[in-house]
Structures are given as structure tokens and as C-alpha cells.
Amino acid sequence: MKRPLRLGVLGSGKGSNFRAIVEKIVDGQLDAEVRIVISDVDNSGILKVARDFKIPGLYVCPGRFRTRLEPEIEENIVRLLQEAQVELVILAGFMRIVKQPLLSAFPRRIINIHPSLLPKFPGLEAWKQALAAGERVTGCTVHYVEAAVDAGEILGAKTVPILLGDTPESLHARIQQSEHVLVPAVIAEIAERFHRRA
């Protein structure tokens, strides 16, 4: 009998993508199980969502750097994920660059959600970059994480039209709606491949 794919989720924000994943699991549409949620923000929404669904959630102090974790802290996160027997790590609005401890421990087993059609507009606030560039279409991408930022193999993407009169807020909200569909779908595909190999 096949068992659910074991997920670990890292996030910094309100946790809307995480909620979308868990709701698909609860509805029986995604054969996965979230084993642990880790946040670098102690009062983040993602930890509240974890509590709502009775999923173990932990705050990990990020250390003194603004855009990355200190190596010993990242090693601690690796230990927590391994203790939870995580098979796939999901960066769901995690606002720190993942470095070698995590990349080595989970090769091609970390995925990220990015709010643009990569390779266009990597980095922060990609929806604002798309608006400023005068694009007519943008979207969201799920990709494997590697050392270069927003550069790993693309696993799936959804397009989102940029409408006349769009603000950064209205565009971002529509991109997030597409993310909530795309992310569980990509995880489901990974789970299928995992089950075929098992």
C-alpha cells in the first residue's frame, strides 16, 4: 500500500499557499502529508495555519543576516526536517536564500513558488517588476531550488494576464490565486513519480 509523500514547509508570511496544499490533502485530492512547518518569523500567519490544522509548527530564529540563514541555523533546520522524515521541502513564501546545508541534504527535493514566469523577473516583488516593465502577461512558476536564485529546473507555470488599471496589489492577488492551483498540482505530480519509484 502506498503511503503519502511526506512534506516539510518553510514559510515567512501568511501561509496562503500552505493552506491551499493542506486543503487539497484534507479533501483527498493530494496524496501527501505535511510533517512539519518551519518559519523564520515568530508570529507569522503560516504558523497560525499550522495550528489550525494541528500540524507541528516551529519558529526558528533566523540569526543576524537579512536575506539568508546562518549556517548553524540552516543545519538545525535540516535536522528538524530529517527528524520529521521529510521527503520533499516546499518553500512557500520563505524570504531567505537557501544555502548549502539544505541543498546538500535535499538534492532536487526542494521546490519554490515564484510570482513570475521564470526566467523573467527573478528576485523580490516580481509582480512589481512585471508591471514596471509594461508586460501584458505574467504568472507564477514552481521550480526546483539550486544555489543560483530562482534558477532551478521549472516544474510548472501558470500565466496571469495583466489588466488595464492593475495595481501591484490587484495583480499580486490574482497571481496568488494561480499559485494556489499550481503548487498542489506540481506536488501531486512529484508524489506520483515518488510512488512509481517506491
**Helix-helix angle 45-52:16-26, to 10 degrees:** 20
Q: Which of 114, 143, 172, 180 is catalytic?
A: 114
Q: 52 near 59, Cβ under 8 Å?
A: no
In the DSSP assignment, the letter for residue 86 is -
CA dihedral 13, 14, 20, 25 (to 10 degrees): 80
Do 72 and 62 form a contact (C-beta atoms < 8 A)? no
Annotated catalytic residue 114: yes
Active site residues: 114
